A and B are shown apart, each in its own frame.
Chain A
């Protein structure tokens, strides 16, 4: 009975504060979603639609021709495949390296640990552009230019992700680990069976960020790949933009096509994102 009363109170009673909150949230939603909605509507607009007139959402001359054009002009699925390869390498690399390094930094004792953590923080302060050329020289010396592995390689390990994992491993109650130790579990068993299952949220988070990172990256693939035989999606999509004139409707359709996989990914994994974001800071 008591819980029911609380529930009713929660859902039926709108205080002025709540109303204001909802209004603010709706305004934010409009603000964030409007450009996307406009993009979607633009992708379906035909030649008779005036794109520069006051914004309207329902096309006067609706058509799917823009999408047909995108698929006709570009081997989009090939580009998507290349991006997925890079994304898969990135996700795997970051989760594995982050797990091992994060565990060591959080739970093992060794000389120079503070120094390593300090260096990891420092490396986050180095802007990517400044090391672009040296990074490319390394890739070239490994003979990996114009190769998807060369695109993925520098992103396989990231200090941000190692620190996220370190935080997550730190949050595991020491009593649990000590109990396992008393029961005779060796260090690998403690790692695999006790600790790794506790950081699944962080794994999901790191996986999602790595996926988004490799999905959206433009500059590094541009530098590594010399021709379109290995293009990733972002590079391939830029072909829709003409040097002299381009049709904004087709560009919009291309953007929507590129957006679909990442949206599916988000819908499937969104609940893990918020779990993961909290995992490092809240003790269970």
Chain B
């Protein structure tokens, strides 16, 4: 084995020399400082021009600075980040969500911006800034990223499916709480059991939060969602499953499976995004004919997702990296990006722009107004400590609870234990 590795290395080195293919380094040439900026799946015909203009503007304002923009594909992004971090190859400014950022912050590779740029806090929505502020075991309490774009959206429902399944929804008084959905399960299951699903099958950690379950202790050192409220929440899903309000294949489906099932016309409710209206209009015209929207269904505050820009703690040009990250996340540049992507700003006051409050009465405009409202009042429920491995565990345990193999309490105890061991 050792022999083969040596052989491979020697062979490769020989080939490299023969080919004369030297790796291109990122070292800066005389007089210019180069910063490496990494986005996540945003280099395509829709966004490339936005970033090129943005970078050109920054380079113009800061002579002698060169921004090298790289973009990574959607899949396996966390693997890419952790190998780069381990190898010391992490770019200076990196786009990521709170979960990978928490892991990297613990590993000490992200800059604590509460220390390095404390004046930034006032420029962001409190909910966004606090979601970027981490606290936990073996971690210096601090803010490890500038909030960038936020995403949220209304809840969509299919009127035809609901009326076929014996449920009448008053368009002037549509359901707004998770409890309202739970109350529909019996009727829905009796009429449409096995044929249609009432809502997405397995709740995520965000759904727990929206129901009002306390997810973590105050010190953020332990998960607590196996409390009474959490058990009560899962029990609702067990009852819905028993009533026949889900199809069996929903036990395996992920969130993208959820939108397929809704777009395929076999699901009654779906939590969507502002841009989902147009997506459904284009790709699922039959569902669009019966489409209606309501405020994001939640017992407490609606959920938001957040992306942020982190700064590499080992960057040679930290001040410049902070400057660039703040430039990308400033109000004007966020607004320009949000207009292109139909997502929402995390910077203070930007949400009051007319773009987010259109006055026409199309469904797109209505969805936009509802989403903007949720950005003002919403909460980023997913704790950054809740890794994707934890999400998978939670999903699998609840699936077993739905099938009656274990109780709700057992499912949550097992997940909490698993996640606490890895916190």
Residues of A near any B CB (own CB < 8 A): 47, 50-53, 73, 89, 93, 97, 101, 116, 119-120, 122-123, 129, 132-133, 136-138, 140, 142-150, 153-154, 156-157, 159, 162, 218-219, 222-223, 226-229, 235, 238-239, 241-245, 247-248
Contacts and interface: CB of A to CB of B under 8 A. Distances in A.
A143 B23 contact: yes
Interface residues of B, number: 54
Interface string B10-37: 0111011001011110000000000000
29 contacts: A50-B285, A52-B260, A52-B263, A73-B44, A101-B4, A132-B79, A133-B82, A133-B87, A136-B83, A136-B87, A140-B89, A142-B12, A142-B16, A146-B24, A147-B23, A148-B21, A156-B12, A157-B7, A162-B4, A218-B76, A219-B79, A222-B80, A226-B89, A227-B70, A235-B73, A239-B43, A239-B44, A244-B275, A247-B283
For A101, A129, A133, A227, which residue has the most chain B Cβ atoms within 10 angstroms? Answer: A227
B41 A137 contact: no
B50 interface: no
B343 interface: yes
B87 A248 contact: no
A210 B296 CA distance: 49
A244 B11 contact: no
Contact of B46 (A116, A123, A146, A242): A242
Contacts of B80: 222-223
A157 B4 CA distance: 7
A229 to B, nearest CB: 8
A133 B88 CA distance: 11
Contact of A245 (B8, B71, B279, B284): B279
Contacts of B41: 238-239, 241-243
Nearest to A54: B264
A241 B1 contact: no
B83 A132 contact: yes
Contacts, number: 135
Given A219-B79, A244-B342, A137 B21 contact: no
Interface string B257-290: 0001001110000000101001100111111000
Per DSSP, are chain A's interface residues mostly helix, strand or loop, or mixed? helix
Contacts of A93: 11
A142 B74 contact: no
Contacts of A149: 12, 15-16, 19, 21
